Structure 1
Amino acid sequence: MFYKLSNTASKERIEKEFNAKFKYPNLYESNPLINGFKEESIYIITDEMPHQIVPGIWGLLPKDFEDDWIIFQNVNNTLNFDEDMLQNDDTLNNQFCSKRCLIIITGFFTSYIKNGTIYPYYVYTKLNNPISVAGLYNKLNDGFKTCTILVSEANNFIRNIHNINVKMPLIIPKEARENWLKNESNMDIESFAKASNEIDLHAHPIAKEFFKNDIVFESMLDPVRYKDLP
C-alpha cells in the first residue's frame, strides 16, 4: 500500500489552490517525506469546514481510543483503506457517508521491482501542483483529528511504474473537490475512482536511499537514472 507521501508546497500556494485558509498558519511546514510509519500529521480539508485547512494525524483511530497511536496501528494499520471495502464494512461506510476529507499532498511514491531489486519512483503532476487525495477522518474525544487515505484501482500509467500491487491513491480532481465534501449518503464513489484514473500524472525514479528510515535529504525527490527502467 502507500505509507509515504510528500508535500513540498508553500502555505500560500496551498491556500490559493484550495481557496481555503490554514487554521494554524504558523505551524505549517512543507515536508518532502511524510512517513506513515511514524505518528505524523498531514493537512486536510474536512466536510465540516470546507474552507479551512487543519492538521490531521495520519492513521484513522476510533473516536474513543485513548491509548498510543502506534499501538493501534500495529494491531490494525489504518493509513490506507481500499475503496472497495466501503461496500462491505458498515463502520467504514458510515464514515464515508458523514466524515470525508481532502488530504493535501504534492506527490506520492511507488515501487518497481526488477531483477530482484526494488526501485522507488516519485509521482506528481506536471506543474507539481498540490494534489487532493480522498480521505476519511475522525475526531477524537480530545479534539484531535485522525485520517486515512483511500486507494483505488491504479491506471495504466501507475501500473507501469508500480508492479508490487495494482492500487493508487484516489485523487480527487479540482472540479470534483466540492462534491467529495458534500454530505451525501448516496454518493457514487466509482465516479470519483474513474476521474482519478484520468488525471495526468508524471513520475521519475529517485535514489534508493529513500527506503532507509529516518533519512531525509534535500535532493531526495530529484530524478536518478537506472538502466532499463520504465
Structure 2
Amino acid sequence: MCYSTTLRKQRKEVEKRLYQEINTEFEIDFEYTPYFHLNGFSHGNVYIIKMDEPDRIHPAAWGLVPDWGVHNPEVFWKKSNTLNARAESLFEKPSFKNSANDKRCLILSDGFYEPHHVGGVSIPHFCYQPSKEYPEGDLFLFAGLYNELDNDLLSATIITVEANDFFAEVHNKKKRMPLVLAYDLYEDWLDNGLNQSQLNELMAYGFTNRDFKAHPINRDLYYKKNVNTNIPEIIKPIDYPELNTLF
C-alpha cells in the first residue's frame, strides 16, 4: 500500500534534477504546489510524466479513473479504491489493464508513509531516500498508470509490489511497497514497444538499488481527522518505547 506521499522540492529543484536525467520539464499552464503530506483519499494532485509526453510534467488526480467512470470521478472514487495497482494483477483488473498497455507514467515523490504494527497498534513511518544533496529525502519516481478525465484532466495510480527485506520490516503486516524505479529504467517504463512479459519482468526486478531510510512519526497527528497534516512537523521523528527496531 502507498496511500500518502510527499513532494517537498520546489519547482526549480525538480526541473533541474529531471532535466539532467531525462530531459523533462513542467507543463507551463498549471500551478505547482509542493506538499509534506498528500492523503490519497483526498484525490489531490500528484505530478506525473506520461508515455506520450516524456518531456513534460503534468498534474493528475490520485486515484486512477477508468474510461467508464471519467464522466463522474467522484462517484467512482466513492465506490472504488484505485490509489494503488498491484503489479501481480495489473493485466487482469478491468480498472488497470488498458492503461497498463499504453498509459504508463512516472510519478514524482521524495517520500511516502507506511504503517508499522506493534502489538495491534499502527505506528506510521516516513520513508525516504537520503542523498548527499538531500539528506532528508531525494527525488525519486514511482512506476504508475494514468488515464484521461473529461476537460483534459488526468488521474493516476501508483504500482505496488511485494516488499523487499527492508520494507517487509517497515510495512510488517501487508508487506507491500510502492514500485520506486531504478533511475536507469525510467525510459524503459515509458517505452511503448514493451510487451506484457517484458513489463512484468521490469516490475519484478526494477526497484531501485538506492537505499531507503524510515523513522516513526507522530501517530496522533498523522491519524487525526479534520486537521491540516500538510505541515513540516508531520515527518518529524518520534520515539516510541514499544519500538525496538531501527530501520
Return the TM-score normalized by structure 1. 0.92
Q: Report the CA distance shift for 1:12/1:181 in structure 2 as closer, same or farther (over 3 A).
A: same
> 3-state DSSP class of the match of 2:206?
helix
> 3-state DSSP class of the match of 1:12?
helix
**Displacement after TM superposition at 1:198 (Å):** 3.5
> 3-state DSSP class of the match of 1:51?
strand
Cα distance in 2 between the residues matched to 1:222 and 1:161: 17
- After superposition, residues 39-58 of structure 1 pair within 5 angstroms as 39-58=43-62
Q: Which residue type is aligned with residue 215 of structure 2?
A: H
Cα distance in 2 between the residues matched to 1:110 and 1:91: 24
Q: Which residue type is aligned with residue 234 of structure 2?
A: M
Q: 1:170 aligns with which of 159, 166, 179?
A: 179
Q: 1:184 aligns with which of 187, 193, 196?
A: 193
Aligned length: 230
Q: 1:82 aligns with which of 82, 86, 93?
A: 86
- The residue number in structure 2 matching 1:104 is 108
> 3-state DSSP class of the match of 2:15?
helix
> 3-state DSSP class of the match of 1:189?
helix
- 8 Å CA contact 2:70, 2:148 repeated in 1: no
Q: 2:213 aligns with which of 202, 220, 230?
A: 202
- The residue number in structure 1 matching 2:40 is 36
- The residue number in structure 1 matching 2:75 is 71
**Displacement after TM superposition at 1:161 (Å):** 1.3
**Displacement after TM superposition at 1:22 (Å):** 1.0
Root-mean-square deviation (CA), in Å?
1.8
Q: Greater shift after overlay, 154-163 or 213-222?
A: 213-222
> 3-state DSSP class of the match of 1:157?
helix
- 8 Å CA contact 1:97, 1:184 repeated in 2: no
**Displacement after TM superposition at 1:146 (Å):** 0.7
- 8 Å CA contact 1:24, 1:54 repeated in 2: no
- The residue number in structure 2 matching 1:212 is 224
- The residue number in structure 2 matching 1:6 is 6
- 8 Å CA contact 1:39, 1:69 repeated in 2: no
Structure 1 unaligned blocks of 5 or more = none
Cα distance in 2 between the residues matched to 1:176 and 1:28: 25
Q: Which residue type is aligned with residue 6 of structure 1?
A: T
> 3-state DSSP class of the match of 2:88?
helix
Q: Which residue type is aligned with residue 224 of structure 1?
A: I
**Displacement after TM superposition at 1:26 (Å):** 6.0
Cα distance in 1 between the residues matched to 2:86 and 2:68: 23
**Displacement after TM superposition at 1:197 (Å):** 6.1
Q: Which residue type is aligned with residue 60 of structure 1?
A: L
Q: Report the CA distance shift for 1:25/1:191 in structure 2 as closer, same or farther (over 3 A).
A: same
User: What percent identity do the matched residue pairs reach?
Assistant: 30
Cα distance in 2 between the residues matched to 1:26 and 1:95: 24
Return the TM-score normalized by structure 2. 0.86
- 8 Å CA contact 1:64, 1:140 repeated in 2: no
**Displacement after TM superposition at 1:97 (Å):** 1.4
